[in-house]
Amino acid sequence: MTVSVQKVSASKVTISELMLPSHSNFSGKIHGGYILMLMDQIAFACASKYSGCYCVTASVDTVDFLNPIEIGELVTMKASVNYVGSSSMVVGIRVTSQNIQTGKVKHCNSSYFTMVAKDENGNNVKVPTLILSNLEEVRRFYNSVRRIALKKERNMHEETFDHTTPEALEGLNLYNVKLDL
């Protein structure tokens, strides 16, 4: 039996992992790809917990790496469903790292994963209605609505913009680029 409504709190997931030398890149910092893999895992866990279904990643909004993560730091990721559509969910993820010797905590990044609930045949499944229980959840919901609208507008502009017009080609003069067509 599927649940028709769920509170945001039913989706919350937190994971922590100690960063090891095997997770580092060539500069000795934790590899961004490794952090993205962990973010994808927590987004899956959060969306699946909320929907009760297998979920797939449909898209990832901007990921800005704000602060580097060092070997030996404890990385903590917190995720919750911020928005639901018919079969999709926007999962907000906050990543922090803590120097376990000094206790200093850094915000490393925040990102938004769009996850889609699927059945065993790969068909989209309706997800429960989201119950917003406080103003912070309302803020996160509206921020998701705004990001979705901006994304749709950007996609529409990309589809209709004709980059071959003389005006578009002349507009390239504003950038550090040279045409050699």
Asked if residue 120 is part of any domain, the answer here is yes
Asked if residue 20 is part of any domain, the answer here is yes
Rounded percentage of the chain residues whose pLDDT exceeds 90: 80
Instruction: State whether residue 29 is helix, strand or coil.
Output: strand
Burial 22-48 (b: 16+ CB within 10 A, else e): ebbeeeebbbeebbeebbbebbbbbbb
| Averaged pLDDT for residues 87-115 | 97
What are the pLDDT digits (tens) for 45-54? 999 999 999 9
Asked if residue 99 is part of any domain, the answer here is yes
Weakest-pLDDT range from 18-27, 37-46, 51-60, 159-168: 159-168
Asked if residue 121 is part of any domain, the answer here is yes
Instruction: State whether residue 7 is helix, strand or coil.
Output: strand
- Is the Cβ–Cβ distance between 89 and 83 less than 8 Å? yes
Asked if residue 123 is part of any domain, the answer here is yes
pLDDT of residue 49: 97
Residue written as token pair 């903590």:
76
CA 100 to chain centre: 26
pLDDT of residue 142: 97
pLDDT of residue 3: 63
Please give the tally of structural domains in the chain: 1
Residue written as token pair 């994808």:
40
Q: Give the CATH number for residue 67.
A: 3.10.129.10
pLDDT of residue 23: 96
Q: What is the DSSP letter of 90?
A: E
Asked if residue 117 is part of any domain, the answer here is yes
Asked if residue 106 is part of any domain, the answer here is yes
Higher pLDDT, 78 or 64: 78
* Band of residue 2 on the pLDDT scale cut at 50, 70, 90: low
Look at residues 91, 96, 121, 99 and name the one whose alpha carbon lies nearest to residue 109. 96
Q: What is the DSSP letter of 128?
A: P
Weakest-pLDDT range from 47-61, 134-148, 161-175: 161-175
**Range(s) of the domain holding residue 33:** 5-131
| Averaged pLDDT for residues 16-32 | 96
